[in-house]
Structure 1
Amino acid sequence: MSGDSAASASGRSGGRPGRPVGRGTTGSRWSRLLESGLLQGGVQGSPVVRLFMRWVRRPLLPVMRLWRRNIQLKVVATTLLMSMGVVLLLGFVVIGQVRNGLLDAKVKASQSQATGGFAVAKQKSDEAASVTDDATTVDGARPTSVIQWMSDLVESLSSGGQGAFDVVTLPAGDESGGGRGPRASGHVDPAQSVPAALRERVNGNTAAAQSYTRIVYFNGEESQPGLVIGKQVNDPNGDPYQLYYLFPLTQEEKSLSLVKGTLATAGLFVVVLLGAIAWLVVRQVVTPVRMAAGIAERLSAGRLQERMKVTGEDDIARLGEAFNKMAQNLQLKINQLEDLSRMQRRFVSDVSHELRTPLTTVRMAADVIHEAREDFDPVTARSAELLADQLDRFESLLADLLEISRFDAGAAALEAEPIDLREVVRRVVGGAEPLAERKGTRIRILGDQQPVVAEADARRVERVLRNLVVNAVEHGEGKDVVVRLAAAGGAVAVAVRDYGVGLKPGEATRVFSRFWRADPARARTTGGTGLGLSIALEDARLH
């Protein structure tokens, strides 16, 4: 198929039947979601949801656009996020280690203090038992000396701590006798300060037990975290009771808070410092890249003299030197190609003009021979007819070459005037009717009920449509060819469609190439030159 004979495929508004056409059928799943509106406005049919999604998305669009276009922002943001993650991880590890160290030291010191206190309590109990009889009052109450001994014990044990701990005594088990009733130093509430679970562990057990708790006070002081260590011991009468040491953890809590604050301040400073360093480092790399991108854009716009400014001898400098060498070579090659193209266009133009004179002479001689062919023998007469046909094609090819050379030289001029495209289409269809009859094709015109007026060059528009219609008839395989006219919004359009075999994938971009044919072995009915669609494309661009 030649270039001009493939025009029907390029001018069609659709593809061959059964073949999926358009981005709606070839897009990805995300493009289909976008087209369906699920990602554009939320759930279809829900104006409230679409309005809400649009309201949420609108302020984020500038940020997303900046994020996509600014590599420096991406690197700095990534550095900040990773730095924050590392700082947080290290902070948790350090705080955990400090907390464990403080608590371990406090627990060891508290256990040592409590062990000494339990030993003192046992010693005092043994001393009191050796000098006190076990007599009780008539009503079963404990002697006043045991009650006083318990109070003196609490006061004695707590006085040695100088406020570092408090002492609490509780009755063992469910007993609540007066001598072993709750006693505490420092306004401590024994019932709320000693956990019930710890009391159960201490009850009936000779070993000491410990637990963390909140120390509550009677006088309205704020409760504070603490460590409670308890053990069951005997009073001078040999009856068991529970002795507890309560150690406040306020100092450890303050130390831990100080460490947290210091780590947070240092971590924030480190993150900000790393962000600033990343910004400066990336800026040194990105700035030359941005300069290269700007220069590349100017080079693509035709400003071939643009070059990068190179300073230093580092990798960026070598990149700039390589870029400048590439730009210089491109400029040289482009200049060479432009010179070669000008020479080729001038050669084609000169040859085309120079061929007109001998062609005219040959044409005159061929016409004389053709008119006298009846006087020749059959072989000579047939040769005269072939000579006339090939001269017609040669004249057409020469005319097309001259037209192409005018386009290449920029000498083609548009002679625009108001025309009714219906008349142009009818003339083209009328000229193609003989070929359509031989092919068994019917040409239908749609949209010609109303005038379709446009400011255009009638000769060039007719040439474009003639190429399209003739190609549609040539390759329509005897099926209908539809020519549709339309006008709307200050614009007009003419579409030519056939229902033939069409083009293979990738051939649609080549049909306007000069002398290109889809199938070189395919017979040419109308004897085209292979330049029809190229000229038609230039005519369309000229408008």
Structure 2
Amino acid sequence: MVRLSRIALPTGLRRALTFWRRSIQARVVVSTLLLSAIVISAVGWFLLQQIRDGLLEHRAEVVVGEVEAEVAFNRDRLSAASGTEVNASVQRANLIGPIIEAGDSRGYGVVLGGPEGNDTGLADGGAHRTSGLELSSVPERLEEHFDGDNRPTAWTYTDIVRTLPDGTTESEPGIAVGSQVLLPADGDYYTIYFLFPLTEEEETLGLVTRALLTAAGLLLVLVAAITWLVTRQVVTPVRMARRVAERLAAGWLQERLRVTGEDDLARLATSFNQMASNLQRQIRQLEELSWVQRRFVSDVSHELRTPLTTVRMAGDVLHDARRDFDPVTARAAELLQAELDRFETLLVDLLEISRFDAGAAVLDVEDTNLLDVAHRIVDAARPLADQRGVQVVVEQPERPVRAEIDVRRVERILRNLVTNAIDHAFPDDLDHPIVVRMAADDQAAAITVRDHGVGLAPGESAMVFNRFWRSDPARARASGGTGLGLAIALEDAHLHGGWLQAWGRPGEGAQFRLTLPRRAGMPLRRSPLPLAPVDEVVLAESEPEETPASEPGREPSRGVPS
């Protein structure tokens, strides 16, 4: 499996991302600000459009009214003069001159268009215009509107282009209004274009825009402050509950939340405190019950040793004299001896469990070659294996496997694993021997015991270490175990700071792995041997990733999913 390495992020960005993930208050404030910014932007854009349209429409109404009044005044003035009094050029000059002067005084430009009947347009009358005003300021679509005679007044938006004294040009938005006037001297219609700049409207719109932006910024700050205050009122009790819950989880069962007010959060705090009190009471009851149970087991185990010794002495006498008895009585003496052995083993195991429960178990470590330990255990279990018709072999490791261990406890672990493998192996199966492997690296040493017997069903790889648990209670055990062997083995592994794990599949056998630190007290990171057997095809996919346990040596027992 290919793993992608994490992308290296700057420290500041990594801290910001961590704060973002962990702070619900920051996420609520930022989300509210973003939504508020979107809403304010949409509303502000709509208001600006409405204000802009209102200003332009009002300006257009004003300038059109002003143009119609100016044109009407000049029409009346021209109609009062006789057409033969002056020639057309003089009369045209008398028409446009006052209009241009009025435009200069009021801030708008004027362009006189030629007679429409002669099809000269602005080319003929364009010379009569406000100084510096370019003819391109008149839109073509407005000129096309006045192609004929006696057309109504019309207007449109345009860009007013002016030539400055230094020869450069400047452009500004404006409104172009056109109207036609009949010149009595020649009977032709002339078009007068009035060009009104929108400078005041631009300034007004800019002022409104700045005001809206300022108001939006202040509104966002206000929304952020309100959101932060509101979320703080909700998040602060939640954070207090989290801290109290963490202390409760750490064992500080007397911790409680401070209750203020009568709102929902106060009722939640009250319910939390009631829950904590009930948990504290139940935990104390369980601790007392557990202490009573451990004390009972310890007392019973010790008290039974005295009568067991007496019964053992009587049983030994009967067992030694069994040849003088009839067959039934002799068989009864043999069964009594076997059950006394099993009972004595059970008492020893119960005493050992009570030491673990009381925390009185200690290690007596020494640097030991695990290969020698494995050979001693296998040699001792060979009669049982021969009785079952199975073989137990120890593979030679590639390098010496040494570790600082309590030899007695590690021998007990291996003895339990080997005898369990013999008990659960298929009888007379010489083609699939029980294999004991071991390996070591710089930090850890590991031993695996592999059998090809009945195996473990899904979920049983963790239950197999429970006290008195058996996968099939109906099956007879060749070794006569008590049901506490693997539980004691697990405690022995934890006492070393190591792991004891199981893998299994129904009908394909099982493998147990013991991993121990090379040096006493050294933390474990991974095991030198895989948990799944090397003869399994699913090795790479099946084995779980090994991570250090939450407590030293407390790696949870787990199997490989099938």
The TM tier, using the shorter chain, reads 0.7 to 0.9
2:559 maps to which residue?
none
Whether 1:419 and 2:373 are equivalent positions in the alignment is: no
The alignment's C-alpha RMSD in Å is: 2.6
Q: Does 1:168 align with 2:119?
A: no
Counterpart for residue 228 of structure 1: 176
Structure 2 residue matching 1:287: 3-state secondary structure: helix
Alpha-carbon distance in structure 1 between the residues aligned to 2:179 and 2:389: 115
1:76 corresponds, among 23, 29, 41, to 29
Q: Is the 8 A contact 2:180 2:190 kept in 1?
A: yes
2:21 maps to amino acid: R
Q: How many residues align?
A: 484
Unaligned residue ranges in structure 2 (runs of 5+): 497-562
Alpha-carbon distance between aligned partners in 1 of 2:456 and 2:394, rounded to the nearest angstrom: 23
Write the deviation string for residues 354-392 of structure 1: whole angstroms up to 9, x where unpaired: 111111221222222223333333333322222222222
- Name the counterpart of 1:301: 250
8 A Cα contact 2:399 2:440, kept in partner: no
1:495 aligns with 2:438: no
**More divergent stretch after superposition (521-530 vs 494-503):** 494-503
Whether the 8 Å contact between 2:139 and 2:158 is mirrored in structure 1 is yes
1:374 counterpart = 2:330: no
SS in 2 for 1:497: strand
Query: Displacement of 1:421 after TM fit?
Result: 0.7
Q: Is 1:154 equivalent to 2:96 in the alignment?
A: yes
Task: Answer whether contact 1:76 1:275 (CA < 8 A) is retained.
Answer: yes
Q: 1:273 aligns with which of 194, 201, 222?
A: 222
Please report how far the alpha carbon of residue 431 of structure 1 lies from its aligned counterpart in structure 2 after TM superposition.
2.5
Report the Cα offset of residue 534 of structure 1.
0.7
Match runs of 1:350-389 below 5 Å: 350-389=299-338
Whether 1:326 aligns to 2:275 is yes
List, as ranges, runs of 4+ consecutive aligned residues in structure 1 with deviation greater than 6 Å: none
Q: Distance in 1 between matches of 2:282 and 2:487?
A: 26
In structure 1, runs of 5+ residues without a counterpart are: 1-23, 25-34, 42-52, 134-143
Q: Structure 1 residues 520 and 181, CA, compared in 2 at 3 Å: closer, same or farther?
A: same
After superposition, the Cα gap between the structure-2 partners of 1:175 and 1:541, relative to the gap in structure 1 and judged at 3 Å, is same
Q: Is the 8 A contact 1:428 1:462 kept in 2?
A: yes
Name 2:38's counterpart in structure 1: 85
Superposed counterparts of 1:128-143, under 5 Å: 130-132=82-84
Alpha-carbon offset, residue 347 of structure 1: 0.5
Code of the residue aligned with 1:464 in structure 2: it is I
Residue 514 of structure 1 is aligned with which of 467, 480, 485?
A: 467
Question: Where does residue 145 of structure 2 map in the other structure?
Answer: 201
Q: 1:154 touches 1:185 (CA, 8 Å); kept in 2? A: no
- Aligned residue for 2:461, secondary structure, equals coil
1:245 paired to 2:194: yes
Report percent identity of matched pairs. Answer: 51
What secondary structure sits across from 1:207 in the alignment? coil
Counterpart of 1:170, as a letter, is G
Q: 1:461 deviation in Å? A: 0.5
Aligned pairs for 1:447-466 (under 5 A) are 447-466=396-415
Q: 1:480 to 1:63 in 2, by over 3 A?
A: farther
Contact 1:147–1:179 (Cα < 8 Å) also in 2: no
Contact 1:211–1:229 (CA<8 Å) still a contact in 2? yes
Which residue of structure 1 aligns with residue 17 of structure 2? 64
Q: Which moved more, 1:223-232 or 1:202-211?
A: 202-211
**What is the alpha-carbon distance in structure 2 between the residues aligned to residue 501 and residue 149 of structure 1?**
123
Please say if residues 425 and 452 of structure 2, whose CA atoms lie closer than 8 Å, have aligned partners that are also in contact: yes
Match of 1:29 in 2: none
Equivalent position amino acid for 2:112 in 1: T
Q: Are residues 476 and 244 of structure 1, via their aligned partners in 2, closer, same or farther at CA, if it must alter by over 3 Å?
A: farther
Question: What is the Cα deviation at residue 126 of structure 1?
Answer: 4.3
Q: Deviations 1:107-154 (Å, cap 9, x if unpaired)?
A: 2222222333443454455455x4237xxxxxxxxxx94334334333
The one-letter amino acid paired with 1:54 is: A
User: Which structure's residues are more often helix, by fraction?
Assistant: 1
Aligned to 1:184, which of 113, 122, 129? 129
For residue 450 of structure 1, what is the amino acid of its counterpart?
R
Cα deviation for residue 353 of structure 1 reads 0.7
Residue-by-residue CA offset, 1:281-301 (whole Å, 9 max, x unaligned): 222222222122112111111
* Counterpart contact for 1:349–1:402, Cα < 8 Å: yes
Provide Cα deviations, 1:291-325, integer angstroms capped at 9, x if missing partner: 22112111111122222223333333322222222
The equivalent position to 1:291 in structure 2, one of 240, 243, 262, is 240
Q: Contact 1:421–1:453 (CA<8 Å) still a contact in 2?
A: yes
CA shift, 1:269, in A, is: 0.6
Contact persistence 1:476–1:500 (CA under 8 A)? yes
Please report how far the alpha carbon of residue 520 of structure 1 lies from its aligned counterpart in structure 2 after TM superposition. 2.4
Which segment is superposed worse, 308-317 or 103-112?
Answer: 308-317
TM-fit CA distance, 1:509? 2.3
**CA distance in structure 1 between the aligned counterparts of 2:283 and 2:264, rounded to whole angstroms:** 28
- Match in the other structure for 2:488: 535
1:320–1:179 Cα change, 3 Å: closer
Instruction: Provide Cα deviations, 1:457-488, integer angstroms capped at 9, x if missing partner.
Output: 00101111122222233334443433222222
Match in the other structure for 1:10: none
